[in-house]
């Protein structure tokens, strides 16, 4: 019988409504964070702050396009993570025309993934560990505070605690994209990870249901080798993977998985980290990024794409296959 792991995800969905305003925009300096010990309430609503901000014109356009209005100007507390215009451009929305051409359900899902209920001030609410918070569209994002620095799904907050009359705003330099599925589904949607998906499918034909492990076990971290990484490791084609021993592939694949969710800001430096394989791999962190080295590797693998969120963990894409 194949070994399996299961878990249950609780799903809660609520609507996100953002009001509009015709007030003049504030300067960037007017988006001041709260002072320690000061009363934690602003004079403008959450919606008014976004609409009046000179660096959130695309966020405002997304709100208008999505047809969301009302709730966030009313009494009640929300915490909003607000991507800047540069963040939207980097996410593929270069201007308001691109926002207005986007599907409304897509915009509503993206906006809802940036809001959590209640006031969450970094200085005294977010603990100095990685914590998941349910967003208004249900999938969690994960917040980590270390000293004065805060990240959400590995993305730095550039300005915290901008007070509103009905909540608080934290400014991001990237758009938070909701998970596209579980770990296997996210890998299957990436054309540069087709060899990895083939390896998972082949390994599952052995004694361990690797596909189910990666698809259902909660809070995993997967270091996902690219297609070229598999080619360089001696698997020149997908057919070569399909001909490989499932037990060998299982041993390799489970060596790429950590039993806990770790976004890049929390990867330990110069540490031997245990994997589902039972053996450890070496992680190092430097100014150039995160590297991971297997015990059987002469050279470390670079994390080339970090912090891809999934419904059951996080994926970091790497450029070498890790060898136990």
pLDDT digits (tens, 9 = 90+) for 63-77: 888 877 576 677 878
Which two three-digit tokens encode residue 25?
């925009």
What's residue 126's pLDDT? 67
pLDDT band at 127 (very low <50, low <70, confident <90, very high): low
Is residue 30 over pLDDT 50?
A: no
Place 14 in a pLDDT band, splitting at 50, 70 and 90. Answer: very low
Q: By the 8 A CB rule, do 129 and 41 touch?
A: no
Q: Given a cut of 90, is residue 231 above it in pLDDT?
A: yes
CA gap 83, 272 in Å, rounded? 35
Q: What percent of the chain has pLDDT over 90?
A: 68
Stretch among 25-34, 81-90, 177-186, 231-240 having the lowest mean pLDDT: 25-34
Greater confidence (220 vs 51) lies with 220
For the whole model, what pTM was predicted?
Answer: 0.83
Q: Which residues contact 66 (CB under 8 A, 6 or more apart)?
A: 18, 104, 107, 108, 111
Burial call 33-54: b when 16+ CB within 10 Å, e when fewer: bbeeeeeeebebbbbbbbbbbe
Instruction: Give SS3 for 147.
Output: coil
Pick from 145, 132, 130: which is nearest to 263 by CA? 130
> Tell me, what's the pLDDT at 155?
94
User: Shortest CA distance to 300 belongs to which of 262, 270, 264, 260?
Assistant: 270
Task: Please name the residues in contact with 77: beta carbons below 8 A apart, sequence gap of 6 or more.
Answer: 117, 118, 119, 166, 167
**pLDDT tens for residues 150-171?**
899 999 999 989 999 989 999 9
Q: Tell me how far apart the alpha carbons of residues 108 and 135 are, in angstroms, rounded to a whole number.
A: 12
CA distance 171 to 150: 11
> Reduced to 3 states, what is the DSSP secondary structure of residue 266?
helix
CB 230 within 8 A of CB 317: no
- Mean pLDDT across 266-279: 96
pLDDT for position 124: 61
- The pLDDT value recorded for residue 66 is 86
Please tell me whether residue 63 adopts helix, strand or coil conformation: helix
* Domains along the chain with CATH numbers: 28-172 (2.30.180.10), 183-318 (2.30.180.10)
* For the ranges 22-36, 119-133, 261-275, the one whose mean pLDDT is highest: 261-275
Are the C-beta atoms of residues 295 and 279 closer than 8 Å to each other? yes
Strand 280-286 vs strand 78-83: parallel, antiparallel, or unpaired? unpaired
3-class secondary-structure state, position 221: strand
The answer to whether the beta carbons of residues 262 and 274 sit under 8 Å apart is: no
Q: How many CB atoms within 10 Å of residue 168?
A: 26
Task: List 289's β-bridge partners, or say none.
Answer: 286
State the pairing for strand pair 313-318/301-310: antiparallel
Lowest mean pLDDT among 37-46, 173-182, 232-241, 249-258: 37-46
**Torsion-angle region of 272 (φ positive above 0: left; ψ -120 to 50: alpha; else: beta):** beta
Token digits for 237? 């084609």
Query: Sorting pLDDT into bands at 50, 70 and 90, what band is 12?
Result: very low
Q: Is 33 helix (H, G, I), strand (E, B) or coil?
A: strand
């Amino acid at each position: 019988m194949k070994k399996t792991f299961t878990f249950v995800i609780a799903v809660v969905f609520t609507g996100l409504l953002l009001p509009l305003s015709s007030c003049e925009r504030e300067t960037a300096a007017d988006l001041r964070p709260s002072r320690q010990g000061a009363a934690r309430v602003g004079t403008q609503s959450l919606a008014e702050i976004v609409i009046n901000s000179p660096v959130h014109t695309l966020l405002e356009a997304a709100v208008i396009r999505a047809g969301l209005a009302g709730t966030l100007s009313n009494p009640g507390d929300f915490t909003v993570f607000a991507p800047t215009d540069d963040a939207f451009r980097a996410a593929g929305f270069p201007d308001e025309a691109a926002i207005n051409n986007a599907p409304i359900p897509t915009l509503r899902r993206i906006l809802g993934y940036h809001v959590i209920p209640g006031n969450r001030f970094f200085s005294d609410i977010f603990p100095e560990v990685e914590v998941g918070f349910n967003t208004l569209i249900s999938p969690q994002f994960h917040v980590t505070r270390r000293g004065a620095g805060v990240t959400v799904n590995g993305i730095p907050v550039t300005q915290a605690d901008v007070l509103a009359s009905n909540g608080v705003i934290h400014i991001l330099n990237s758009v938070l994209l909701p998970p596209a599925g579980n770990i296997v589904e996210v890998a299957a949607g990436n054309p540069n990870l087709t060899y990895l998906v083939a390896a998972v499918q082949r390994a599952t034909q052995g004694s361990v249901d690797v596909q189910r492990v990666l698809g259902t076990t909660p809070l995993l971290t997967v270091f996902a080798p690219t297609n070229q990484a598999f080619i360089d490791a001696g698997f020149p084609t997908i057919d070569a993977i399909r001909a490989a021993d499932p037990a060998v592939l299982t041993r390799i694949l489970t060596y790429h998985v950590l039993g806990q969710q770790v976004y890049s800001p929390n990867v330990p430096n110069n540490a031997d980290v245990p994997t589902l394989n039972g053996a450890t791999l070496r992680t190092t962190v430097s100014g150039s990024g995160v590297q991971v080295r297997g015990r059987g590797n002469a050279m470390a693998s670079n994390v080339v794409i970090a912090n891809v969120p999934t419904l059951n963990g996080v994926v970091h894409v790497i450029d070498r296959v890790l060898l136990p």
